[in-house]
Amino acid sequence: MSVLAIISENCPAAAAKKLSKNFEILRLPADPQLAPPVAHHPDMLIVILDGKLFCHREYYCLAHQVIDRILELCKLNLICTAAPRAALYPLDVGVNALVLPDRQQVIARRSSLVPELLPYLAADTKQGYAGCSTLYIGGTLVTADPSICRAGERIGIPIYKVPGGDIRLSGYNTGFIGGCGGVWKDTVYIYGQAKRCSTGHALLEFCRKKKIPIVELWDGPLSDFGGIQFIEAMK
């Protein structure tokens, strides 16, 4: 049974090549309605939850070939939303939600979330970029965002706070730890060398204590190319 790694079309070639040794790679095209630096980030484009793939209707029209491939391989139902969509916050974060796969719920900003995802909301947060801002590792929220920490505490999820502010994201002062990679079967995959920044050092320390492997996908600085979404294909 194969596992898909859904990544940005702008993911570095070296990182995609390394991922392809263990996963089937699917690249999402950019959404022209979003700001160019993040328009191709999976955590800005789709949510996979409860046997469903959620995305904006206009984006599906653009990216239907790759989305249909995901639907077919993983036996998912497509849920398209017609909620307002634009490049400016908060209209850009309608499907930016932190998925808690063990609970089949999300943490997200309620007032920004598309209506179709509201039934899955476990905790409201001020952070609209909830999916970008956090790695969910072994049942722990690893984040620099205080509002995500408060949301996790309200629903009884352990928190591990990292510094933040030193992750590369082209076009912005900083990126988010959730956009630096993803987690599959308690292995963390990240874009860049963790030791090159304080956020990465904190992530290394957390994973060392928990005995969780980290796979660095390329030799550059820790960078936000949008969170990797892993999902198992079905027979």
| Per-chain mean pLDDT for the chain | 97
SS3 category, 230: strand
Q: Which of 178, 175, 199 is nearest to 188 (CA)?
A: 178
Q: What is the CATH number of the domain that holds 203?
A: 3.75.10
pLDDT of residue 1: 64
How many domains would you assign to the chain? 1
Q: Which of 104, 59, 99, 100 is nearest to 79 (CA)?
A: 59
Cα–Cα distances (Å) from 179 to 109, 130, 170, in that order, read 17, 10, 12
User: Looking at the predicted structure, is the pLDDT value of residue 235 above 80?
Assistant: no
Task: Give tens-digit pLDDT for 167-199.
Answer: 999 999 999 999 999 999 989 999 999 999 999
Domain that holds residue 167: 3-232
The residues near 106 (Cβ < 8 Å, ≥ 6 apart) are: 47, 49, 97, 98, 99, 100, 113, 117, 120, 121, 122, 130
The 3-state secondary structure of 67-96, one letter per residue: HHHHHHHHCCEEEEECCCCCCCCCCCCCCC
